[in-house]
Amino acid sequence: MEHRNIGSLKVSVVGLGCNNFGWRTDAAGTAAVVKAALDAGINFFDTADVYGGGRSEEFLGKALKGRRNEVILATKFGMKTPEGKQGARPEYVRQALDASLRRLQVETIDLYQIHLPDPNTPIADTLQALNDAVKTGKVREIGCSNFSAEQIRAARATPGPRHFASVQNDYSLVKRDAEEEVLPECALTGVAFLPYFPLANGLLTGKYRKGKTFPEGSRGKDAFGPKVFTPQNIERVEALIAFAESRGHSLLELAFSWLAAHSEVSSVIAGAKTPEQIRANSRAASWKLTAGDLAEVDRILARS
């Protein structure tokens, strides 16, 4: 497994997104997926205090008992919790951090991220609280999520010893907004980019095909369906499958390896509900796409 940097952290190029834990996956299922991920060489685990109403952190903490030193552990704060708490005010940052540490049963979080911008709190105030957390040893690196390039620049212009080491935004073969400003900003400043929804909510797994009914209980059938599983995107999937298979690879491998081909990307974060899924994901970023391959993918997406 290849490793890349997020500040001082060395993370596997394939990471495990833990948003299914505590929601689609119970404690036993979480433990099985976590074990499979570690056995496959994945060391980067990304969760949030709102996933599963806090149960994601709880289940992950239990599953990592005895193996904490093998893991780079990331979590997030700022979205509205079941208790109605949210935001990035300094006092809330401290409360949310301590709550996450308790649920995860750890003394330090490797990467602590603000889940989304808080328009009601100056970024300088939030960064001061996060720097204090680093100073006390509760956090190793700090990051942000769902930030624009302008917001990243504003944070970077704030005085302080520690700035955001990473930004985690939506990015995939069919969702490429990040290429307009955020990825160039990462390339310029060395901020690590962490793509979430790399499989576009399952669209890029290869199990959704033109003319076939979506499986019951799948992402194509739930709230994501109308937003992602559009006729145009299904046509794109067919073209991308044909391209990947012509090179001896699957659509899943293309989705991961295309993201990993971008030097700004440090880890491709994807969820998994079963050990089989995590094992497939762990192998999927090994295809080294050539410049010609990347150009061909651009041509396919431009015409579909």
Tens-digit pLDDT profile for residues 117-160: 999 999 999 999 999 999 999 999 999 999 999 999 999 999 98
pLDDT of residue 223: 47
What percentage of the chain reaches a pLDDT higher than 70?
94
pLDDT of residue 206: 86
CA distances from 161 to 14, 111, 134, 188, 208 (A): 29, 16, 10, 19, 47
Least confident segment among 2-11, 127-136, 228-237:
228-237
Q: Which residues of 199-215 are buried (b: 16+ CB within 10 A; e: fewer)?
A: bbbbbbbbbbeeeeebe
User: Do the beta carbons of residue 185 and residue 149 sit within 8 Å?
Assistant: yes
pLDDT of residue 225: 52
Q: Structure pTM?
A: 0.94
Position 218 pLDDT exceeds 80:
no
Average pLDDT over residues 90-112: 98
Position 207 pLDDT exceeds 90:
no
Position 90 pLDDT exceeds 60:
yes
Position 265 pLDDT exceeds 50:
yes
Beta pairing, strands 3-6 & 9-12: antiparallel
Average pLDDT over residues 77-92: 96
Average pLDDT over residues 212-223: 58
pLDDT of residue 226: 62
Please provide residue 28's backbone torsions phi and psi, each rounded to the nearest 5 degrees.
Answer: -65, -40
| Angstrom distance (rounded) from CA 234 to CA 232 | 5
pLDDT of residue 217: 58
* Domains located in the chain, CATH noted: 3-202+262-287 (3.20.20.100)
Which tokens belong to 9?
Answer: 């952290």
Give the active site residues: 51
Task: Assign 112 to helix, strand or coil.
Answer: strand
pLDDT of residue 222: 53
Instruction: Provide the H-helix boundaries in the chain.
Output: 27-39, 55-63, 90-104, 123-135, 149-156, 182-189, 225-228, 231-246, 251-260, 275-283, 291-303
Mean pLDDT, the chain, integer: 94
| Angstrom distance (rounded) from CA 156 to CA 159 | 8
Average pLDDT over residues 19-36: 97
Position 177 pLDDT exceeds 90:
yes
Average pLDDT over residues 100-125: 98
Cross-strand pairs, 242: none
pLDDT of residue 30: 98
Residue 228: band (very low, low, confident or very high) from pLDDT cuts 50, 70, 90: confident
pLDDT of residue 272: 95
Position 69 pLDDT exceeds 80:
yes
